[in-house]
Structure 1
Amino acid sequence: MSAPLLTMEGVHTHIGHYHILQGVDLTLPRGELTVLLGRNGAGKTTTLRTIINLWQASKGRIVFDGQDITNWRTPRIVRQGIGYVPENMGIFSLLTVQENMRLAAERRHFDTARLDWIFGLFPALKKFWTTPAGLLSGGQKQMLSIARAIIEPRAFLIIDEPSKGLAPAIIKDLVQAIRELKQTDTTILLVEQNFSFARAVGDHVAVMDDGRVVHAGSMSDLADDTELQGRLLGLSLDAHA
């Protein structure tokens, strides 16, 4: 069994006077997708932001591909091949789709083959290539946000709430795109509240509560165990199918 791509060991994060992460232990298997679940306020987004040091860990250790990155600055972490798709998408509304993509590309130049691959994942981006991003639909903006994160090959992709506010038809397309992205051996950490979506793409799951990981295992085991779902999340995944 190969070494995990990323581990968090006893990680604490304070934001102002608030102690958000209270000893997070998390292991991400290389080349697979782990879904981070939990109630609102459990610490999921803080975990993502702490990994890339948008919020500094106050205690503990974060190891990526064998290197301790706990105190690295965000630009250095990103240069290791990490892409981040924030919950607010982070696109530039006044710039065109093309300009948004170019800003994310290394040296502002596109790899034609990779761009064609992305257009295969998200055909709408090719259609609206010269359209200001602010005029796109919510689903198209989410596609652009993910496309920006993967315009360069990434060893590790962090995605926060990709299906939030999207129509079911768009979510279905997003599921297919993420499944295809998984075939590139990219390791993915995904925060998601849509449990049907999470079950469709997840290999592994970690459940957070009160700033800690309280359960970790396979997604299939959690999806098959309604009692465990109720105990960890206060609901059944079947209710959200």
Structure 2
Amino acid sequence: MSALLKLQGVHTHIGQYHILHGVDLEVPTGQVTMLLGRNGAGKTTTLRTIMGLWAASQGTVTFDGQPIAGKPTPDIAQRGIAYVPENMGIFSDLSVKENLLLAARNAGTAEQMDTQRLEWLFGLFPAVKKFWLYPAGKLSGGQKQMLAIARAMVEPRRLLLIDEPSKGLAPAIVQNLIEALRELKRTQTTVLLVEQNFAMAKALGDRVAVMDDGRVVHHGAMQALADDEDLQHRLLGLSLGAHQ
């Protein structure tokens, strides 16, 4: 399986702090790659570096064989990469419809949006349709997360970067999110997903990379990690089995 995204020897500094210490990471085309690790391991910094929100001070980032490190974030997004940050980035004063329209670069009005794709999104995330005209700020946390992911998918994307989508959500909402992302997975969309919910990681991941202290210290099949409790304890300090 060829890598759609590849990081080699990536270092990132934020002010005086050296956060990434030579990250090597490959994200295969058409698969879901989980990026796991303890808090502070560098997972969010990795996503933000890929998107150009923080500049890599050393190393290479290539997307579909083309270098993207050092390019402006809008140029990176234009290549077909969408980013769902941990804080979701929802425009609270705008309606659900207006939030989606902002992300639909080829549509000037809601009527110009791809109707077939919208219906597909409504099937994945019924709350988006139900609260179409509501201010996004009045949605629940789970509904905002659904909107954030739907907004990233309102146009076809080649790669989705999603940062901890289940954080702070009730278990029932997390299960709904897993089902929606499973449907997305069936479309062979390439996803790099940071997640602390290990049941979600096991349910969705094809591949996994584990970070520690700004480096990738393990990579392989997600199922192999899920089946090896000793490896889970060594890499993460806990067991996936305790988080079912």
Shorter-normalised TM-score: what interval? Answer: over 0.9
CA distance in 2, matches of 1:185, 1:24: 25
Q: 2:220 aligns with which of 217, 226, 241?
A: 217
Aligned to 2:131: 128
Instruction: State whether structure 2 residue 241 is matched by structure 1 residue 238.
Output: yes
CA distance in 2, matches of 1:158, 1:167: 22
Q: 1:154 aligns with which of 157, 164, 168?
A: 157
Structure 1: which amino acid aligns with 2:24? D
Aligned to 1:28: 27
C-alpha deviations, 1:65-98, integer Å up to 9, x for none? 0101112111111000001100000010011100
CA distance in 2, matches of 1:92, 1:3: 36
Task: Name the count of aligned residue pairs.
Answer: 240
Structure 2: which amino acid aligns with 1:15? I
Structure 1: which amino acid aligns with 2:14? I
TM-score w.r.t. the length of structure 1 is 0.98
Structure 2 portions without partners, runs of 5+: none
- Give 1:102-141 correspondences, 5 Å limit: 102-108=101-107, 109-141=112-144
TM-score w.r.t. the length of structure 2 is 0.97
Equivalent residue of 1:77, what SS?
Answer: helix
CA distance in 1, matches of 2:169, 2:38: 20
Q: 1:208 aligns with which of 197, 207, 211?
A: 211
Q: 2:191 aligns with which of 172, 188, 191?
A: 188
Aligned to 2:147: 144
In the TM superposition, residue 3 of structure 1 has moved relative to its aligned partner by 2.1
Aligned to 1:57: 56
CA distance in 1, matches of 2:94, 2:51: 26
CA distance in 2, matches of 1:240, 1:102: 37
Structure 1 portions without partners, runs of 5+: none
Structure 1: which amino acid aligns with 2:212? D
